[in-house]
Structures are given as structure tokens and as C-alpha cells.
Amino acid sequence: MALHSWLARPQRRLGPFGLVVLLVVGALVTPLSLDMYTPAVPHMTEFFGTSEAMVNLTLVGYFLFFAVGLLIFGPVSDRYGRKPVLVAGILAYALASAACALSTSIGMLIAMRVLQALGAGAVSAVSTAVVKDAVVPERREALLSLVQVMFVVGPVLAPVVGALVLQVADWRMTFWVLAGIGAVCSALALLFDETLPADERYEGSVTGSLKQLGVVARNKGFSAFLGIVGLYNLPFMAYIAVGSYVYITFFGLSELEYSLYFAVAALLTVFGPFAWLAASRFVSARRFTDILLGVGLASGLAMLAVGELSPTLFCLTFLAFALAEAAVRPYSTNILLSQQEGDTGATSSLINFAHTAIGCVGMLVAVLPWPNFVTGIGIIIVASMGVGILGWIALQRSRVPLAGIKDDEAGSVGATALDLR
């Protein structure tokens, strides 16, 4: 089936392929902004003549205000439409990235990172809502799989790309690269046709639109399922936070060898988001969730058993978990979007905010005083998946409705292969 056929609302100027490119490139914005930048942190400490704590605020501030942007701009897009928020967000991101590159003080850099994060939050919140607005239900999971590849691969490959950039230029070039990505997204966003007609928008005030976050959160099926699938982010971001210490400090690998392990894991994890598209022909969404939780738990136990023996065994045991984490994202996002008839922007905001917040907890838990980081990550995986399994059992036994799971043993809300013709 041609790509045109699965657009519920046509994109006359951007076209269906252009919409896919916009969503995919937009999905790269935040992983690159957080992780491509980390190899440059020591250089920036020296350049600005400041402390590591001050430079670290450029990371913490970004993460915090990205989460704020996620919560605010989804509901705002329900009120004013997707395009104004998307265009404003990506333009702010591109300009702030350029301003970061031109920063003359650590204070200016922190301020511009905050603006950059707010813009990125707007892009992420609106992009997920656009998928529900613009794509017919039976095709959403295919597109979400493609977009989710970027969320999975981005955090893993970004430090490698950042390290390569530093081989040929200084830390400023990292931000010029981000500004270039923002410029590409801005051009595509200007060609984007609105996907939320005026007669379908929230008619109250902006404050009222923000209150819709509470309306969505009170949907018990939505919140319970989001809490369960969100737990995958905790170990994944823990790995991102301390993975370099595991490979370089614990196993004694060189920076190049560490980069290769990261890159190989990222390339293999690409297949995760498409696993559901293949599996949906044979198993229901309920059964697939059972399987993924079991795989996640088994990978954590395997890491605790053999992960310390070699970097290859550590990588393989984490890869099993990463594939499960990547596989759960597309179909779970589609199911979560299906729990709410309206308030798509607010729903999108809460989905992305929960993943971000839980991932932040994972980064904090990762640096606790574990016997070593391999053990720490293994325990985090086992604990997260254990809680997830208990929550999943309780949700299935409860009377809480969950569209796409409890009402459809056939499985998918509509998973089919993506045809880019």
C-alpha cells in the first residue's frame, strides 16, 4: 500500500514522505541535544574557566525544561493547533542552538540551553499528537516504529558522533550541528499542513487546556499502562548514564573500543521497534507484553550472573533488554493514544513526560554506590521488570478498562508494514 493511502489528513506541500522525514528528524533532536554534547563537557569546563558543577547545569537544566516543555506545549497545541506550536518550537530550538555555539559565558550557555530545551519539548509533544491526527489507525504503529528507532538509537550513537566532531573541531561545532538539524526541521515545519482543524480544537482558555492534563491522567487505564511501560526507561537511561564507566573503567577498554560496543548495540537495537509489526500476526498485544516483560527480567538476571565476566557478555545481556525496550515503545504508544478520544496533545505530553521523568530517575539511581556499575544496572533491570510484571498482573485482573488490550485479543490496534512508495 502506498504511503499516501494511510494519511487521514493529506499533506499537500510536505507530502507523506516529507511528513515521515519531519517526524524522524524531530525525534533525533532531544537525544542528540543531550548525548552528542556530553563528550564536550570537559573541554567546556576548561574553556569557561568554571567548575564541573556549573557545566553540569547545562545538562540538568536542559532535561528539566525539556520536561516542562513536554507538559505545556501538548495542551497548548490542542487549543491553537499543531503547526503554530511546532514551528515556534523548532525555530526556538534552532536559534538557541546557534546562540549556544556563540556563548561567551557559562551563564549565557545555560540560558540558551533552557530555551533550546523548551523548543525541543514543543517538538516532541506535538510530533506524537500529529501521528494520531494525520495517520489512519491501522498504520500508526508502523510510523511509530520508524520514529521510535530514533529515540532508541539516538542516545546510544550520539556520544560517538559527538566524540568524532571533537576530533575535527571544538565544542562549539556540536551546537552548530544541532542548529543545522533545527534549520532542516524548521524548513519542513513551514511546509507542514495543519492536522488539527479549528472545529476539533479545545475551545477554552490556555489555562483550561493545561487542566486537560489532569483529565487525561485520571484515566486509570492510561495511567496504569503508562506506568508499566515507562519502567523500561529506568534501566535504559541508567545504562546511558554509566555505560562509559562500565566499558572504560570497569573493563579497561579504550575510548574507541567503548564507542564500537555502543555503536554495535545501537545498530542491533534498531530491529526492536519493528518486532511488534512481525509478531502481531501471531500474538496479541497482551501476550506480547507478557513476553517483553519476561525477556526484560531474564536479561537482568543474566547480567547479574555473567555480565561481569567480559564486556561482550555485558553488552549481549543488556542488548536483550534494549531490544525489549525498543519493541514496547511503538505499540504501547498507539495503545496509550487510543485511551483518549480527544485531548491528543495533552495525552502526547503525558506520554513523553512520563518516559522522560522515569528516565531521569534511572540516571540518578545509576550512580548510587553499587558494588560496581554492572551489578547496579543488573539490579535496576530486575527491580524495574519485577515491579512491571506485578503491575501488569494487577492491571489485567482489575476492572480497569484498557482499549487495545482487554477488548481485543487479536492484538494490534492496527499494525502493518510501512510502505514508503
Mean pLDDT by runs of 10 across the 421 residues of the chain is 66 84 83 77 80 77 86 86 94 96 93 95 87 78 72 69 80 91 92 88 77 88 96 91 85 81 78 82 91 97 98 96 90 87 80 87 88 96 98 94 70 42 40
**pLDDT recorded at residue 420:** 38
Backbone angles phi, psi at 415, to 5 degrees: -110, 120
**pLDDT recorded at residue 296:** 97
**pLDDT recorded at residue 413:** 45
DSSP letter, residue 135: B
Using CA atoms, how far apart are residues 123 and 242, in angstroms rounded to an integer? 28
CB 234 within 8 A of CB 359: yes
**pLDDT recorded at residue 421:** 40
**pLDDT recorded at residue 155:** 65
**pLDDT recorded at residue 326:** 87
> Which residues are bridge partners to 135 per DSSP?
7
Distance of CA 405 to the CA centre of its chain: 23
Backbone angles phi, psi at 266, to 5 degrees: -65, -45
Unique residue bearing C-alpha cell 515507562: 230
**pLDDT recorded at residue 3:** 60
Domains for the chain: give ranges and CATH numbers.
11-201 (1.20.1250.20), 216-412 (1.20.1250.20)
Q: At what angle do helices 285-306 and 311-337 cross, to 10 degrees?
A: 160
**pLDDT recorded at residue 289:** 95
